[in-house]
Amino acid sequence: GTVVVKDKDGNKVGEVDVKITEPKDETPAPSITDGKEKDEVPADGSEKSLDDKVKNPTDDMTGEVLDKDGNPIEDATVEVDPETGDIKVTVPEGTDPQDGKVVVKDKDGKQVGDPIDIEITDPNAGTPGTPDASNASIVPDPETVIEGQEANPFEVAKDIPEGGKVVVEGLPDGLSVDETTGEVTGTPEKISDWGKDEEERDVEVTVSVTDKDGKEVAQDTKTVTVQRDTDGDGQPDVTDTDDDNDGATDAEEEKAGTDPKDDSSKPALTDEPSVVTDKVTVVDGQEADPFEVAKNIPEGGKVAAEGLPDGLSVDESTGEVTGTPSVSDWGKDEEERDVEVTVSVTDSDGKEVAQDTKTVTVQRDTDGDGQPDVTDTDDDNDGATDAEETEAGTDPKDANSKPEAKPGDDQGATSVDKSGVKDVKPSGEDQNTGIKVTNPDEGTKVSATDKNGKDVPAKIDDNGNVVVTPGEDVEGPITVVIEDEDLDGGKAEVEVGVKGEEPDNQGGSSDLTGGSSLPDLSSGSSNVDWKRCAPAAAGVGIPLLFLLPIGLASQMNIPGFSPLVKQVSAQIDGINRQLGAQNTALQKQLGIYNGPLAQQANQINLMLKKVSPEAGRIGGGIALAAAGALALGLVANACSPNGGSSSSSSSSK
């Protein structure tokens, strides 16, 4: 065009040629602001907002979704909010899971920024942390429970899909399954129709898992073995050497022709030296409960046991075997080994008065957790069950050989298994508590304190075991706290005992009143030596309070006896009804065993064996009274704060 220039009077001065153009748009062009994560878009037609956004959005912006080959996916949509820049994407149902890209376009159809990477997912695969229905499986490992005893919780299924359920048909009475977790708990009821010599029964149960729509996604069978426990002492008959707890071993009853499962049927008592032939089971690497290989050893006699497993030894004067067994040459799949031991008893002149063989079964414990491989469902404690390792072709007894992780294997919720909790020693060593944490993550925390609130170092090792370092001055119990958002209430608390702890001295008053009293046992005394007192009370075969004739008891004042009963009963409950090796074993486990006191108690027990049961029930009889007085003197002497001997004479007045 032409611009005419004029002066102030309007007269033309001249002309200038100019080019006329469109006005320039100063609005910033749209661009893509990258998000922090790669977005997952489910192929179900639902709208998904991406982490990426459009900066400076305008009206009428569009886009398209490309598949892994760069081709547009039909019916997929891309929308951009002109106010916020939010990018919303849909992918139609039926699209295969794959990597894809989102291309954003302006109102003129031009590409804005670089394509955005997305992952197109299967909507039926569940959200992260939620097991896929296709991963649900039955845990086929056999389980063993004891009738009348609370069972350690065990799983029958895993990776239950969200909203799914677990059903178990044929569980032994008293056991039930949590349909949401697949965990079985409870106490198996006593079986009323045991066969005469039947000691365990295999029960086949059918386990099925259904998804949220009720469709079955897994089904299999599993064996639950119920073990008989005739006397209800918690030790199943298959390992109990005295099934009916009548004082005669099963081997003695079989030899005498009496019924080892009927406490009213037992052999006549004999003081003849003999070999205890009952089969004993010990665990490799674990301190064995003391057991007898002979009894009624003559004065000055000796017991010899040839062929004991390495780590075990016999006390030649008592016939008691103690120690920690050790086996170094296990076969690849060997889980237990029977060792035949030859036991002989000689008198003071060296003449053999008894000889026989006894079988000691050593059970393998690959991971050293105290649970033998025959019952452990994860022998090497690598997090994969033995059944899973067998199926995958890996070695269930080698922690370095385990199945490769599958997608979703590590996405389960965190859980805590405290069924295997065990006491720890007061030492500076790292010790496994038996608490197992499944699927811990970065947010899982563990801490521990002793009863005084003192911090105890704790950690979760690579296999999920909670390990503590108690220290020598620790006071139990130790409270272990595992914190994780997946746990009920965000945390789980478990108490761990400390080996060798003495009962707290709580004081108390006497339950017996009368004229006489025992020195140094005032009702409020806090100086009782429980290391001597408890085993003295526990060492007598018949409970001490029932040894005293009624008339004598009514005239005796026994201050300190009430606290003795209250304080020690929690530790030695049942010891008085367990004779011989069981008594000694329990005292040693509690850290209260005292050799000299045990010998004195044995002398009293020999007296008691000669007293008829009728005399014991009636509370009369000179022999029983004498034994009772002697036993009372032993306890008073042991329980005296000054450890003196004067109480023995007082007790016999």
Predicted pLDDT of residue 361 = 96
What is the three-class DSSP state of 467? Answer: strand
Q: Give the fold, CATH level 3, of 274-364.
A: Immunoglobulin-like (2.60.40)
Predicted pLDDT of residue 6 = 85
- Write out the DSSP string of 442-464: TT-EEEEE-TT--B--EEE-TTS
Predicted pLDDT of residue 12 = 84
Report the alpha-carbon angle 291-295-301, nearest 5: 115
- Amino acid identity, position 111: Q
* 411 phi/psi in degrees, rounded to 5: -105, 5
What pLDDT, in 10s, does the model give residues 562-616?
A: 333 333 333 343 334 334 444 544 444 444 545 445 545 544 544 444 343 333 3
* 606 phi/psi in degrees, rounded to 5: -60, -40
Domains 137-228 and 415-496 belong to one CATH topology: yes
Q: What is the DSSP letter of 488?
A: G
Question: Whole-angstrom Cα distance, residue 561 to residue 509?
Answer: 8
Q: What is the pTM of this model?
A: 0.39
What pLDDT, in 10s, does the model give residues 203-251?
A: 999 999 999 889 999 999 999 999 999 999 999 999 998 999 988 889 8
For the chain, helix, strand, coil in percent to 5 are: 15, 30, 55
Q: Please say whether the beta carbons of 135 and 159 come within 8 A.
A: yes
Q: Which of 634, 620, 626, 540 is nearest to 580 (CA)?
A: 540
What is the three-class DSSP state of 426? Answer: coil
Residue corresponding to tokens 């046991």: 305
First-last CA distance in the chain: 141
What is the three-class DSSP state of 185? Answer: strand
User: Cα 561 to the chain's mean position, in Å?
Assistant: 36
Residues contacting 220, CB < 8 A, separation 6+? 138, 140, 206, 207
What is the three-class DSSP state of 527? Answer: coil
Q: Which CATH architecture has domain 415-496?
A: Sandwich (2.60)
Q: Please say whether the beta carbons of 481 and 444 come within 8 A.
A: no
- Amino acid identity, position 283: V
For residue 344, the cross-strand partners are 304, 355
The stretches in the chain having pLDDT less than 70 are 24-26, 124-134, 269-270, 405-412, 501-653
Q: To the nearest 10°, the Cα dihedral for 626, 296, 311, 433?
A: -40
Q: Which CATH architecture has domain 31-121?
A: Sandwich (2.60)
Q: What are the residue boundaries of the structural domains of the chain, listed by start?
A: 31-121, 137-228, 274-364, 415-496
CATH code linked to domain 137-228:
2.60.40.10
Provide the CB-side half-sphere exposure for 31 (13 A, CA).
Answer: 5
Predicted pLDDT of residue 454 = 92
- Amino acid identity, position 519: P
What is the three-class DSSP state of 617? Answer: helix
* 596 phi/psi in degrees, rounded to 5: -60, -40
Question: Whole-angstrom Cα distance, residue 173 to residue 183?
Answer: 16
